[in-house]
Amino acid sequence: MGTRRVVVTGMGAVTPLGLDRKVFWEAVREGQSGIGPIEGFDTSGYAVNIAGEAADFDPLQYFPKREVRRVDRFSQFAIAAAQQAIEESGLAGAGYEPERVGVYIGTGIGGLMEIETQHSKLIEAGPRRVSPLMIPKLMTNAAAGMVSIKHGFKGPSFSVSSACASGSNAIGEAFDSIRNARVEAQVCGGAEAAVTPMGLSGFIQAKALSKRNDEPQKASRPFDSDRDGFVMAEGAAILVLESLEHARSRGAEILAEMAGYGGSSDAYHMTLPCEDGSGAQKAMERALEDACLNREEVSYINAHGTSTPAGDDIEAKAIGRVFGSHAPNLAVSSSKSMFGHLLGASGALESVVCVQSIVENLCPPTINLDNPDPACGELNFVPHHAQQRPVKAVMNNSFGFGGHNVAMLFKKFEK
């Protein structure tokens, strides 16, 4: 473990609740829902027809018209969020060394829309009609590569793919690379655009999704007795992380400090979490140890909380074991109740929530928590409305298909 301190200096977001970080956060503060009927394609005949779409996203705000067709939607989201984060951080005009800035962007699935489009061309018109742009558009590393190219960042650049933990793993690995002095800054996070016919069909067949089509805004209900699955969503979130020395040298505004990163594998099942929650517990314990924080110093946990029957209670019980007598003092909420599950981008977007929680001393709500599930215990799940309270340190949990568990810790920056 390195000894250098790592801070957050910029954030960007493209989400179902808004197309920049400030609009998104205001909606989260107010407990709004971004879930609605799918507009991107015809869902007739689908058992589920709701999702969290970034419906008003216009790539022409970020690309010349001739370039839009060369970039898959997931990469478009990533490039937009990265531009927002870089502009907020002031990094672009700071005279940085390009070789000392890296780009780590996670995605669980990558260019699924491009795969579907080109497969249809192959079947309908033959192999000569498949686009030569297909491979560079669908590659999971396309987002990281394009952000590096666009901004001239020449440090390490790659994608991380660990299902719904991808964005968190990308941020965690970026954090490690800075504190171990491999780079001075990282543009990192996650992007996903899997609300497509094939993506929706696959998760429906896996019996993972809520079928509350008649009440889309009430469909995502983590920790509630009436939860029946998660709600798919799309978007991206990007953070600019820097060594404290680098941020100070250029007079950057510091939003928060990243303090710890822990991971584990359930080694149990491809889609189900380990029933005893031991993997989630170990990730949280490792993050606390990595951050050199006592459990009593943590004020808020942004839970993975997907609204699935098999996951929420397991996570809640693991939190109870990790935090023991301090658990009743915690605020624990799932912001997926508002914007749905962005798959590989979820942990990154929830990191934005965590940093904002620290900045404003506010714990965002779990909406739709009408009938708390007794199996989830007596934690303060911040039902319906945000809670204003001192926030010193925040934990962000992300768990992915394949048994991947990640916990990260952010804390209030102190000179």
| Count of alpha carbons within 13 angstroms of residue 246, beta-carbon side | 27
Mean residue pLDDT across the chain: 97
Q: Is 188 a catalytic residue?
A: no
pLDDT value of position 94: 72
pLDDT value of position 95: 74
- Cβ-Cβ contacts under 8 Å for 30 (sequence gap 6 or more): 386
Tell me what the mean pLDDT of segment 280-289 comes to: 98
Q: Is 164 a catalytic residue?
A: yes
Superfamily of domain 262-411, CATH level 4: Thiolase/Chalcone synthase (3.40.47.10)
Portion of the chain with pLDDT greater than 70, in percent: 100
- Active-site option among 151, 164, 188, 354: 164
Residue 96 has pLDDT above 90, yes or no: no
Tell me what the mean pLDDT of segment 379-391 comes to: 98
Count CB neighbours of 181 within 10 A.
12
Assign 84 to helix, strand or coil.
helix
Q: Is 385 a catalytic residue?
A: no
pLDDT value of position 415: 85
Residue 240 has pLDDT above 90, yes or no: yes
Q: Are 347 and 406 in contact (CB under 8 A)?
A: yes
pLDDT value of position 169: 98
Look at strands 36-37 and 6-14 and give their pairing: unpaired
Question: pLDDT tens-digit profile of 121-175?
Answer: 999 999 999 999 999 999 999 999 999 999 999 999 999 999 999 999 999 999 9
Please state which CATH number belongs to domain 6-249.
3.40.47.10
Where residue 1 falls among pLDDT bands split at 50, 70, 90?
low
Where residue 310 falls among pLDDT bands split at 50, 70, 90?
confident
Q: Are 198 and 117 in contact (CB under 8 A)?
A: no
- Active-site option among 188, 246, 274, 341: 341
Q: Are 343 and 163 in contact (CB under 8 A)?
A: yes
Domain edges within the chain = 6-249, 262-411
Domains 6-249 and 262-411 share a fold: yes
Q: Which two tokens stand for residue 166?
A: 């991808």
Tell me what the mean pLDDT of segment 345-362 comes to: 98
- Active-site option among 151, 188, 274, 304: 304
